[in-house]
A and B are shown apart, each in its own frame.
Chain A
Amino acid sequence: MSLISTLARLEAVASGRARPLATVRHRRISERPLVLVPLTTAGEAGAPLGALVGTDRDAPRLLTVAQPRDRDLRFAFLGELAEAVLPYIDAYTDVIEPAERNETDPETGKRVKVEVELCVDAPQLVVPSRPGIDFVRLLGRSMRFRRTAEEDPETPYPAPPRVPLLGRWLTHYGERARVPGSSLLLATTDLLNRHWATGQSGLEDQHLGALLAWIDPPGTLSGAEAALLAELERDRDGQLACPPAGPATDPAFDNRLLAPAIERYDRARQELGAAEDGADAEERLARLTAAERHIRALLLGVMRPTWDAVWHGLDLLRQLPEGARVEERWTRDRWSFTGHRDRVRAGEPPQPRRDDAVTAAQKLASRETALAQLAAAEALDDPLVLAGHRLSGEAFVGEVTEVVMAYSEGKRPSPRPLITVRTDDRPHLGERTKVFRSLDGKPQSAEFVRYGDGPADEDEAGTGTGTGTGTGTGTDEDGTLVLRLTDRMGRSKEPAPGSVPEKGDRISWTLFEHDQRGGPKLPDPEETPWTHGGPPVREGTAEAGPDAPRQAPDPVTEEDFL
């Protein structure tokens, strides 16, 4: 944590309210996100218990599993989930715009521009917390290798149609969520923690209820008081007023309410099976239905507060204006979405169980790039983020006090004006350190010449070798330093209008590059389909390429869980 964020936490403690960590919103919030609040059965990997899902905050769709150990019921749940999620995704796949992409021509090996489709917008999935993202991944993994009866008539336990497809989409979203700054799949707690500092620790901030309590406490309560209630308040039956945001449930809920309800359901089912005649069966069926309805009510009761909390969080986030560079990152998300759409349409097999070494290395590299890009973009979009870099000496803000025209040596001298800047910041500048400012959204670079504002000696007017000892004539104490502007001034001898700062301008400079790589609209290598020069296919691996044999489905056993 940087000292500035630590200070924000301490301010929050003192004021009893969360304090801002950002002045703009650094993530895209879709106009119509799909919220998913899942619950899982304690101790069972991927045995879902229920979910609330939908795009209408007033009308979530309730999905439940009355007996999580029952495979048919789990399959039914997943089938319903696919029905709830896939139409939402489908609504985005055909709204497209033409776009261009660089690709390697398979015959000539040359880079060529190709016309492709790009989805105009992408579906966005929002879950309550980070374990929710893990659960999306788990669901994706548990579904994408399933076989439907249509795919494989022999399969002993066919999955409902479209369940494997949902598995592939959830896997894609789960993977995309690992890319820093992406907004396809978001955890509400992550979103809120990015933008506010509470008066509690980062561990406690993982509790959605407590986190919201600090940011927007109800009534006259302080954030600390409200957070404590969110963590601990229980009713007479020992049930939490603010149930966990899932997918794990509160053990007290499991033991006191859910277990007896499931037992009642099991009993009712057995009794129905043993019914003697029609009238008897009807009565027993009514009991079974009642038991199931009871379970649904219980699950709704513990999921609804979380559902409302997610929307509450989204409301708060929407109040912040979106950062200028968020759109650019969202465009990458759109490429990611479109790329997966294309792979599904091309009939490629589901994502492999494990990435091969090359793909894994590429993903890692592109995530590192994304992280660096994100850090730079957030700093440029948000003075509060920039403040952290100023404190650590990686950026400075200063007023231009003097501009002296100078030129490079050589046959065609180019403008290399010397800019004197006054700043209170203490950037870590060394000999010819490169610094950048944003000019019409593009980076313009300069290099550090010296501290102090004394007269420039002849040597400094050019880019000759012996320049800039880094100490110059002054010291850094008076906060003055001289930079030499080195690019973006056009091709002619006179700099293009507006390309050179003027006296009195207040400018932010960073020591880090603004754009770490390539154009903003390029798809990430991981998103490039195999058919389009994406991850190289290694001979003999069964895990890549459209022609590679399909991965075998998971063996299904009698006692299998999803």
Chain B
Amino acid sequence: MPPHPLDARALAALAANPGCRRRALLDGAGVDKGALAEALGSPAPFGQSQFAFMRGNAFEAKVKADGGTELMRLLADRLGGQAVPPAPGEVSVPDLSAAGPEGRTARTALALREATAAGAWALLDHPLLALEVAGSPAYLEPDAVVVRPDGRWTVVEIKSFPMIDGSADASKVGAAARQAAVYALALERVAVRTEGAEVGHQVLLVCPKDFSNLPTASVVDIRKQLSVTRRQLARLTRIEDIADTLPEGTTFNLERCSGAQLTSAVDAVSAAYAPECLAACELAFHCRSRARERGAVEALGRSVRGELGALTTVAAVLSAAHGDTGDPDDPTVAALRRAATLRAEALAGADRAVTEQAVAGRAMADRAVAADRAVAGGAETEG
């Protein structure tokens, strides 16, 4: 089975949960986590609508049309400074096709070096970059990289979410910035070996303008994302070290292992489930059900875990809160008991209030009925 390549989105997600060895190992070993999740009986909910897919492709093609004329105009306008934008035809678009990922990354590196040496504008359409992650190579394919005559390389991200009145959805821009940071890191590996090259820490984000499909762009500074990603990737445990801790013969061969074998293989590697996994990792439903079975409090959120100190399961927290277990001098236990008492008191008070209201309501209704009767009675006697 061919290894499943890591892309920048997966890498950004990996960096977002660096404590998870399960994910690090599976990604590092090139296991297709989507297929694995399917085999485990908890398929990932991810999928892409063909409408979004078509629209994304059409928009990217439009941005890059005519040898990237519009793209270069946006780049010069937003990032150009004093530089004169290149005239159409002044931008080379090198052919990057080659066989296999190694061939393509070598071809990309060569094109980057040639363009930098020539001191000219170049647009690299879907270059392929390599980055070593936790001891194994990952291949990354940015939408585009632009080389400028002064030797600066700029990552270009083309997204199909709109920029309305000059601003786009902050969380989507954040995700794009994290992804671009991974590309910039990979580019830096090539840049250190290229004379006169420098990787820009500002990337160009190209999006549709307002409600049209005309491209517009904004500059995103990725220095923060770069340093975070760099730190988190460095923190990832080396794959071999994780693999060494596994029982002999553990494999994730989807074709040869049964569901039960896969489950035990997966469970042999420790995980760090948090609800954020649901949006980022194919195994999330599997890991969530495991976490819930264990009664792990972090299934309710990372912050919950932080509040509860050494108490890590739902049962332990509740029994400490109700005074059955736990050291009353432990500040967490003391706070929990106080919280439980106050909560119970408030709920009981509310119940009482509701009953009182109901009783009062009934009494009032009774009085009203009595009054009605009296009136009715009076009317009768009068009649």
Chain A contacts to B: CB under 8 angstroms? 1, 3-4, 6-11, 13-14, 20, 23-24, 41-46, 68, 138, 141-142, 199-204, 224, 231-232, 249-252, 254-255, 259, 321, 353-354, 383-384, 386-387, 390-391, 554-555, 557, 559-562
Please tell me which stretch of B6-14, B46-54, B129-137, B237-245 contacts chain A, meaning at least 4 of its Cβ atoms lie within 8 angstroms of it.
B46-54
Closest to A23 in B: B350
Q: How many angstroms from the CA of A204 to the CA of B162 in the assembled complex?
A: 26
Closest to B46 in A: A251
Q: Is there a chain A Cβ closer than 8 Å to B347's Cβ? A: yes
A562 partner residues in chain B, CB cutoff 8 A = 211
A250 partner residues in chain B, CB cutoff 8 A = 47
A390 partner residues in chain B, CB cutoff 8 A = 342
With A11-B318, A202-B301, A384-B347 as given contacts, are A4 and B342 in contact (CB-CB < 8 Å)? yes
Quick check: A3 and B346 within 8 Å, CB to CB? no
Quick check: A43 and B160 within 8 Å, CB to CB? yes
Please tell me which stretch of B142-150, B251-259, B333-341 contacts chain A, meaning at least 4 of its Cβ atoms lie within 8 angstroms of it.
B333-341
Mark contacts of B39-64 with chain A using CB atoms, 8 A cut-off: 1 yes-contact digit, 0 otherwise: 00000010111111111100000000
Q: How many angstroms from the CA of A7 to the CA of B333 in the assembled complex?
A: 12
Closest to B54 in A: A43
B50 partner residues in chain A, CB cutoff 8 A = 251, 254-255, 259
- Smallest CB separation, A528 vs chain B (Å): 24
With A41-B51, A251-B47, A353-B165 as given contacts, are A6 and B300 in contact (CB-CB < 8 Å)? yes
Q: Is there a chain A Cβ closer than 8 Å to B26's Cβ? A: no
B211 partner residues in chain A, CB cutoff 8 A = 45-46, 142, 554, 560-562
Contact partner of B210 among A3, A386, A554, CB < 8 A? A554
What are 5 A-B residue pairs whose CB atoms fall within 8 Å in the complex? A3-B336, A9-B300, A45-B162, A68-B51, A560-B213
Q: How many angstroms from the CA of A378 to the CA of B325 in the assembled complex?
A: 33
With A44-B51, A554-B211 as given contacts, are A1 and B307 in contact (CB-CB < 8 Å)? yes
Q: Which residues of chain B from 235 to 290 have a CB within 8 Å of any chain A CB?
A: 275-276, 278-279, 285
A7 partner residues in chain B, CB cutoff 8 A = 317, 321, 336, 339-340, 343
Quick check: B51 and A43 within 8 Å, CB to CB? yes
- Smallest CB separation, A210 vs chain B (Å): 11
Q: Is there a chain A Cβ closer than 8 Å to B110's Cβ? A: no
Contact partner of B339 among A3, A24, A41, A321, CB < 8 A? A3
Closest to B353 in A: A23
Quick check: A3 and B335 within 8 Å, CB to CB? yes
With A7-B343, A45-B211, A384-B350 as given contacts, are A201 and B300 in contact (CB-CB < 8 Å)? yes
Q: How many angstroms from the CA of A555 to the CA of B346 in the assembled complex?
A: 57
Q: How many angstroms from the CA of A60 to the CA of B297 in the assembled complex?
A: 41
Contact partner of A23 among B164, B165, B299, B346, CB < 8 A? B346
With A554-B210, A560-B212 as given contacts, are A3 and B49 in contact (CB-CB < 8 Å)? no
Closest to A560 in B: B212
With A1-B303, A353-B165 as given contacts, are A249 and B49 in contact (CB-CB < 8 Å)? yes
Q: Is there a chain A Cβ closer than 8 Å to B151's Cβ? A: no
Quick check: A14 and B165 within 8 Å, CB to CB? no
With A255-B49, A387-B345 as given contacts, are A10 and B297 in contact (CB-CB < 8 Å)? yes
Mark contacts of B345-372 with chain A using CB atoms, 8 A cut-off: 1 yes-contact digit, 0 otherwise: 1110110011001000000000000000
Quick check: A10 and B317 within 8 Å, CB to CB? yes
Contact partner of B214 among A43, A200, A557, CB < 8 A? A557
Question: Can you add 7 more A-B contacts, CB < 8 Å, to A7-B321, A249-B49, A259-B51?
Answer: A3-B335, A11-B318, A43-B54, A231-B45, A250-B47, A251-B50, A383-B350
Quick check: B47 and A557 within 8 Å, CB to CB? no
A259 partner residues in chain B, CB cutoff 8 A = 50-51
Q: How many angstroms from the CA of A315 to the CA of B210 in the assembled complex?
A: 38
With A201-B275, A251-B47, A557-B214 as given contacts, are A387 and B318 in contact (CB-CB < 8 Å)? no
B214 partner residues in chain A, CB cutoff 8 A = 557, 559
Q: How many angstroms from the CA of A112 to the CA of B31 in the assembled complex?
A: 74
Quick check: A251 and B343 within 8 Å, CB to CB? no
With A13-B314, A383-B350, A561-B212 as given contacts, are A42 and B300 in contact (CB-CB < 8 Å)? no
B210 partner residues in chain A, CB cutoff 8 A = 45, 554
Q: How many angstroms from the CA of A9 to the CA of B305 in the assembled complex?
A: 12
Quick check: A559 and B300 within 8 Å, CB to CB? no
Top 5 nearest A-B pairs (CB, nearest first) are A43-B52, A23-B350, A45-B162, A42-B49, A43-B55
A201 partner residues in chain B, CB cutoff 8 A = 275, 299-301, 304
- Smallest CB separation, B263 vs chain A (Å): 18
Q: How many angstroms from the CA of A3 to the CA of B299 in the assembled complex?
A: 16
Q: Which residues of chain B from 41 to 96 have a CB within 8 Å of any chain A CB?
A: 45, 47-56
Closest to B315 in A: A14
Q: Which residues of chain B from 201 to 237 have a CB within 8 Å of any chain A CB?
A: 208, 210-214
B16 partner residues in chain A, CB cutoff 8 A = none
